[in-house]
Chains A and B, each alone.
Chain A
């Protein structure tokens, strides 16, 4: 059984149907790269997986738990403990230091004590290469560093799946690689990743599965290297051509 099983999901914002029957399955350890033009529904799909967005029809099952059923607070909490998320705009808590940002959710949600939370912060900040910035506030960090703290913050909840929503799109070009290297490292460690991304080279080299979305549907899906080398549809071919 797939770790994340998305079946025929539909979603409308008012009269606009943004997801028109999307099905994707994600196995444990997969690195799924979702690509496509803006407005193709990639971010909405990603946000449906941890119920930041609700969907109208179809089903999403994460690790045996039906996302559509997670209406009650306890179930929703279990789901979100299981699914980490990193955002385009980092969304770090500006009133807390890097370490405190990482420690907050384990303490508040998982009732970790201060000592346990500190160890978690040390471990995850070391993983993203920011041990020396633990006591800095977000405003004292570069964009790339902030995004790495955001990754550490998500990892501290030990999620089974990590969702990444265009996490390098708001970064200056020279800061993109430091973030991608961290994600690549996570992929090598076997964390299941679902990324909405515009980094085509990264999608090809690190991804185990490529999902090309077009007009609210999965237009093409398959092994990244194959699809990039030989796109089956004109739309993917055009899209690859336009971003290179």
Chain B
């Protein structure tokens, strides 16, 4: 039974880690793109657009990510379309990420002084031009640290995708445990690998934050 050596366990976990990284990247990049579009809608000042964006954000921030994964996995199937765990997990994590990034970035946009809006407005800029040339370049600097910090949450969030059958690091851990009956060893290694992915990011986010404060 115990012919699984330590190295076999570790190498299998590392192979599954590729999928954790892939899902994290997809969620973070696509979530960032959707989040940027939502940011424009959220700060546009157009009533119905702001309201719709708020509702979207409230939904994804106010329900558990696991339930969102279920909704995408089982819900889309109801429409007669077969979705793989990979697609369902990518979609759910993308929307979930976008909701949080929009809120983080909105805070950064709103911290730009009102005078910047007024000056660009009186120079005949429209809203998109104001954002593009005046507000976002300044908000970007402030946004880097919390955005990198949030990427850690995305990586940890991907662990839930294992429940709908996506073979990521966590799912591989579960499978290896079923085969080896060495839960403590297996899950310790799983935790260690997650930590090795997340720690450099949170360390980098802290460093960026310190730099930003020093620059002020």
Contacts and interface: CB of A to CB of B under 8 A. Distances in A.
Interface of A: 50, 52, 73, 76-77, 80-81, 83-85, 87, 89, 91-95, 104-105, 108-109, 150, 153-154, 157
Contact of A93 (B116, B118, B121): B116
Contact of A109 (B113, B123, B134, B137): B123
A167 B124 CA distance: 20
Q: Is the interface of A mostly helix, strand, loop or mixed?
A: mixed
B61 interface: no
Given A52-B118, A91-B115, A93-B119, A157 B134 contact: no
A60 to B, nearest CB: 15
Given A80-B124, A153-B123, A109 B129 contact: yes
Interface of B: 113, 115-116, 118-126, 129, 133-134, 137-138, 141
Contacts of B133: 104, 108
A6 B111 CA distance: 35
Contact of A52 (B116, B121, B126): B121
A52 B114 CA distance: 12
Contact of B126 (A50, A77, A85, A150): A77
Contacts of B141: 95
A92 B126 CA distance: 17
Contacts of A52: 118, 121-122
Nearest to A110: B124
Given A91-B116, A93-B116, A95-B138, A84 B122 contact: yes
Chain A CB count within 10 A is highest, among B122, B126, B134, for: B122
